[in-house]
Amino acid sequence: MAIDNRCGWIALAGEPSPHPRQRGRQACDWLIIGGGITGLAAAHTLAARFPGQRVILVERQRVAQGASARNSGFAVSHELPGANELLGSPGFAGYEVASRIGAAAGNEVRQRIAELGIACEYDDGGYHFAVHHPAHLQQIDALLHTLEAVGARASYVEGEALQQRLGSEFYQRAIHCSGGNALLQPASYVRGLAETLPQGVEVFEHSAVLDLRRAGQGWQARTDGGEITASRVLACVGAFLPRVGVHRSGTFALELSASITRPLSEAHWQGLFGERRWGVLSTLPGGATLRLLPGRRLLIRNTVEYRRRDLNISQLQARQRQHLQGLVKRFPGLVAQDLEYTWTGHLSATRSGEPCFAQIDEGLYAVAGCNGSGVARGTLWGRLLVEMACAEPSALLTDVLGQSRPGYLPPRPFFDIGAALRMAWETRRAALER
C-alpha cells in the first residue's frame, strides 16, 4: 500500500491558515521560535500580558503541524508511578511534585480550550494503563493508593469486563485513571491555539532560525529570509534545540510512528465498539498506544526509535506493517487496506525523564524534553517560560525549575550507540505489548 507520511490527525482536522515567510530586517520585544503547543501557549500568554509589545513567532515549516499535531492526543496529568515512586517509598516525594505539575498542566489545557473555544474532541474521562501480560501490571493496590494520594481517580479492571470495554481479548489487566487525564484531537487542539492568536502576534512560516547571536542587550536571529532582533527569545523547538544553537540541553530526539484506520463502519465493528471512545497507554516505554476515535477509527503508535537519520518512506512502510500486526493482535480481521494514514514525528527526550526548562543565557529561555507528555506540559510550559523571563516567581515555577534535571548525555558517538541500544532493548522488552 502506498504511503506518504500524511498525518491522519491533520488530514481529519483540516489545514491551518497559512502565514507569510519572514523577510528582511525586523525588530521585536519577544521572539518565539517554534509554532507547536509550547510556542503558541507562550504567544497567547505574552499577548495577554503585554498587549503593547511586539511579539514575533517563527516556524521552520508550517505552524501547528509538527509533533504537536502528530502525537497520540493523551493530555497527561497523572503518569503511572514507577515501583520506586509508590506511596511510602523514597521516590514518592518526587512523584508528588511531578503530579502537582501534571495536574496544573492538565488544568491549563482545559482552561485554554474553554477560553479560546477550541473544538478538539476534548474528553476528560481519563484513559487506561493496560497490559497483555499480567507481569507488566503488578502491585495494583499500591498503584491505586498512590494515584489516589496525588488526586487522581483510579480503578482496576481485568478479564471479561476489560475485554468488553475495549472490544479486544488482548488486554488482561488495566488501571483506568481520570481526575485530570484527558484525550483530545491533537491537530485540532494546536490548530485552535494557532487560529485564536491575537492580531498583535506576528507569525512567519517556512522561516527557520539558522542561528542566534547576542546583539547589544538582546539577540539577533538569522532566518532563511532575513534577520530578527529581539530583546528576549523563547526557544520552543522541542526536539530541535541544537538547530538554534542550544547544544547542551541534555535533550535528544526520538522518532515515533503511528497509523489511523479508515472508519470501521461494518456491523462487526459496530457491535464490538458501539459509539465508545477510549485510550490505552502501555506500562512499558516500548509498548503500544491505542485509541478508539470518534467515527470508529483506531489509532496505533507502536514504534519508538533513536535514529541518526529520519525514516524514509520504505522504512515507514515497514513501520506500517508493525502497526498492522499490533492492530491484528488486538482486533483480528483488520487488513492493510484498513490503514488510511501512517506518519512519523519526533519527540524530545531526556535521560532522566525530567525536562530541560532553563534560562540558557541572559534574555534566552528554552524548554524541551517532554518525554511524551508535552501536550499538557507544553501548554503549561509556554506560560511558565514567560513567567520565568519576567522574573515572576510562583510555587509552580519553583516546582518546574526544581524538576529540570535532564541528566548527563555522554559525547558522540558513545551517546548514539548507547541510545540506540537502550531503545532497541526497550522495544524487545515490550515485544508482548506492541
Ligand X SMILES: Cc1cc2nc3c(=O)[nH]c(=O)nc-3n(C[C@H](O)[C@H](O)[C@H](O)COP(=O)(O)OP(=O)(O)OC[C@H]3O[C@@H](n4cnc5c(N)ncnc54)[C@H](O)[C@@H]3O)c2cc1C
One residue of 54, 206, 243, 307 binding ligand X per CB under 6 A: 243
Residues between 65 and 104 that touch ligand X (CB under 6 A): 66-68, 70-74, 76
* Interaction residues for ligand X, span 306-325 (CB under 6 A): none
The span of 314-322, 372-380, 401-409, 411-419 binding ligand X (CB under 6 A) equals: 372-380
Q: Quick check: 299 and 290 in contact, CB under 8 A?
A: yes
CB of 399 to ligand X, least distance (A): 18
Beta bridge partner(s), residue 140: none
State the Cα–Cα distance between residues 154 and 177, nearest whole angstrom: 4
Are residues 132 and 285 in contact, defined by beta-carbon separation less than 8 angstroms? Answer: no
| 279: amino acid identity, one letter | G
For 160, residues 6+ apart whose C-beta sits below 8 A from its C-beta are none
CA nearest 383: which of 56, 22, 43? Answer: 43
Strands 339-350 and 251-261: antiparallel
CB of 371 to ligand X, least distance (A): 8
Q: What are the cell numbers at 405?
A: 534535571
Helix (H, G, I), strand (E, B) or coil at 226: strand
Q: Is 378 in the site for ligand X (CB under 6 A)?
A: yes
**CA neighbor of 130 nearest in space, from 331, 287, 293:** 287
Nearer to ligand X by C-beta: 8 or 73? 73
Report which residue's Cβ sits closest to ligand X: 374
Nearer to ligand X, 258 or 288 (CB): 258
- The stretch among 59-67, 89-97, 261-269, 319-327 that binds ligand X (CB under 6 A) is 59-67
167 is a site residue for ligand X (CB under 6 A): no
Q: Is 280 in the site for ligand X (CB under 6 A)?
A: no
| Residue of 373, 406, 423, 430 interacting with ligand X (CB under 6 A) | 373
Binding test (CB under 6 A) with ligand X, winner from 60, 128, 351, 383: 60
- What does residue 333 show for φ and ψ, rounded to 5 degrees? 110, -20
> Could you say whether residue 16 binds ligand X (CB under 6 A)?
no
Nearer to ligand X, 205 or 269 (CB): 205
Query: Does residue 374 belong to the site contacting ligand X (CB under 6 A)?
Result: yes
Whether the Cβ atoms of residue 381 and residue 399 lie closer than 8 Å to each other: no
One-character DSSP codes across 111-164: HHHHHHT--S--B-S-EEEEESSGGGS--HHHHHHHHHHTT-EEEEEEHHHHHH
Distance in angstroms (rounded) separating the CA atoms of residues 323 and 288: 9
**Which of 86, 201, 209, 264 forms a contact with ligand X (CB under 6 A)?**
209
Contact pattern from residue 249 through residue 268 relative to ligand X, giving x for each residue in contact according to CB under 6 A and a dash for the rest = -------x-x----------
Residue of 28, 43, 58, 388 that binds ligand X (CB under 6 A): 58
Nearer to ligand X, 273 or 357 (CB): 357
How many C-beta atoms surround the C-beta of residue 225 within 10 A?
Answer: 15
Q: Rule CB under 6 A: which residues touch ligand X?
A: 33-39, 58-61, 66-68, 70-74, 76, 208-209, 236-240, 243-244, 256, 258, 301, 345-347, 370, 372-376, 378
